[in-house]
């Protein structure tokens, strides 16, 4: 049961990673420093495909974190439940954000047809209402990761103690640093950073079920 939930989470991470790659990837993704200008190099077709694939895959994340909760709860029920609740908050926020990316991408493509003042106001509104969600998401993931690792270190869970080192936040930082150090690799992994993080995270958890739950 737990392994099946984690596999569903892994499936969701893979699906959303594909969708987010359609939304964000271009050969120039590592070269665009100005916010939103990366969308100039992403086709309208890719924005549409990426939008629907990403939204479809999001639901599977909940199953994956339900599996994580079940593996943690033998150590400390309340901490495990907190991780689960934070995961629901994180991916509700993430879902709202990723569901807005095709919209802002289309606005960038329409820039020449919108008067400059209106375009600036639209982008400022998007930044205020949606882009800020990324900052909130990062805070929630840090809290989730801290509680996840603390639970494993202090209490006897279904995870091996070394799994505390592979919490989502630390995995994300490692992938980000590798991507920045190796731009040719980074242009593929950074556009779907959070999802690639969870592909690794859920894969390691599935490995733990093979080790601990036989």
- What is the three-class DSSP state of 1? coil
Q: What is the mean pLDDT of residues 44-67?
A: 94
User: For 122-159, how does the pLDDT look when each residue is reduced to its tens digit (9 = 90+)?
Assistant: 999 999 999 899 899 999 999 999 999 999 999 999 99
d(CA 61, CA 12): 6
pLDDT at 214: 46
> What stretch of H or E contains 46?
helix 44-57
Quick one: DSSP state of residue 165?
G
pTM of the model: 0.90
**C-alpha distances in angstroms, 71 versus 129, 141, 146, 155, 163?**
35, 18, 16, 12, 12
CA dihedral of 164, 177, 182, 206, whole degrees rounded to 10: 20
Tokens of 9: 């989470």
Cα 157-158-164 angle, rounded to 5 deg: 70
């Amino acid at each position: 049961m737990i392994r099946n939930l984690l596999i569903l989470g892994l499936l969701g991470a893979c699906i959303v990673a594909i969708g987010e790659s359609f939304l964000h990837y271009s050969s120039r993704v590592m070269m665009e420093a100005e916010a939103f200008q990366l969308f100039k190099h992403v086709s309208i077709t890719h924005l549409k495909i990426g939008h629907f694939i990403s939204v479809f895959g999001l639901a599977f994340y909940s199953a994956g974190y339900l599996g994580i909760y079940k593996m943690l709860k033998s150590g400390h029920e309340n901490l495990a439940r907190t991780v689960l609740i934070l995961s629901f908050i994180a991916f509700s926020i993430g879902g709202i954000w990723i569901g807005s990316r095709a919209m802002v991408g289309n606005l960038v493509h329409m820039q020449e047809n919108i008067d400059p003042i209106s375009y600036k106001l639209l982008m400022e509104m998007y930044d205020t209402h949606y882009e800020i969600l990324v900052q909130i998401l990062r805070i929630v993931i840090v809290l989730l990761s801290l509680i996840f690792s603390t639970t494993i270190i202090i209490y006897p869970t279904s995870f091996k103690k070394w799994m505390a080192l592979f919490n989502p936040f630390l995995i994300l930082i490692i992938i980000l640093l590798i991507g920045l150090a190796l731009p040719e690799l980074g242009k593929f992994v950074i556009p779907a950073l959070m999802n690639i993080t969870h592909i690794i995270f859920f894969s390691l958890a599935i490995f733990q079920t093979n080790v601990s739950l036989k």
